[in-house]
Each structure stands twice: as structure tokens, then as C-alpha cells.
Amino acid sequence: MKNIVLGVTGSIAAYRAADIANSLTKSGHSVSVVMTEAATRFVCPLTFQTLTKNRVYTDMFELVEYREVKHVSLAKRADLLLIAPATANIIGKLASGIADDMLSAVAMAACGAPVLICPAMNTAMYENPVTQGNIKKLESLGYRFVEPRESVLACGDLGRGAMAELGDIIAAAESLL
């Protein structure tokens, strides 16, 4: 059994992260979900808690129940940090070293674990030179990506930006474990 931290960000593709959590849990892994505030507007934390049988983390500043700093302890025990879906916002934060919420703080503390990022956003956002520069920077630092696919997006556009298929994400995660 491996410990996986699944980061979920505020994309319409957040509902697909439930399938990722469910699949990894059924494969025998322990999945701890960290959601950004925006992600909780798309999918309820209770969904992930029910599927993983683990607590879901959303707030870096909630009261500490134990003698541990939660974002650091999650990162230390992670065998993999998987961010799916990953918005342009979280990719930019990671590339800039910003740790201003629970997920970005866990990612900054996850120095020993591989990080797998699955972008999901509008084509124009994905192809934006700033986003592409951030992806290249993260790749140069050892972060791994599962490229988005071309599809009709939530906005109605046809283009690259839809989160990769479940099977491709799970295969990439398993290969890093």
C-alpha cells in the first residue's frame, strides 16, 4: 500500500477526481485528498471522504488536533502527490514557489515524493505562453505531467485542455509508485 496525496483544484474537471480517488483506493492505496477552496465549489469534500475513507483537507489554518503540522506531515508520508485537475492557477503557484493554501503548501513540502500534475483548463489558458513557461519550469525541476486531451470543453470550445482520461492518469501514477 502506498500513500497518495490527491490535490483537487477548482476546475469543472474536479468531479472526475472522485473517479481517480475511488480507483486508487480500490487498488489498495491510502488516498488523502487536499482540496482548494475553489474545488469545494465544484465537488463536496464528503464525496472524497466517503470514497477514500480518509479525512479531506481544505484549510491550512484549522485548529490542530495533534502535535503535527498537517501540510508537512502529509507531504512527509506521501509516496506520490497527484494534482488532478490542475488549474493554471496551481501550476503558476508551484512554478513561483507560492504556498498560500493547503495544497500549495503540501506541494512545497513534498520534496521527497514525485509530483504528477494533470492540467485541465480552457485551451487558450493552457496554450498561454505563461502557462507553458510554468509547465516547462516545473518539468525542469522534476515535476511530471499527464498532458490534457483535445475535446469539447465546458465552455463549448474544441481544443486541448480537457483533463486526461482516467486510465492514463492511473497508469502514470502507478508507474511513479
Q: Among all residues, which ones are annotated catalytic?
A: 155
- C-alpha cell recorded at residue 130: 505563461
Measured distance CA(147)–CA(83) in Å, rounded: 12
> Please, are residues 16 and 85 in contact by the beta-carbon 8 Å criterion?
yes
H or E element at residue 9: none
Q: What span, in angstroms and rounded, lies between the C-alpha atoms of 71 and 59?
A: 10
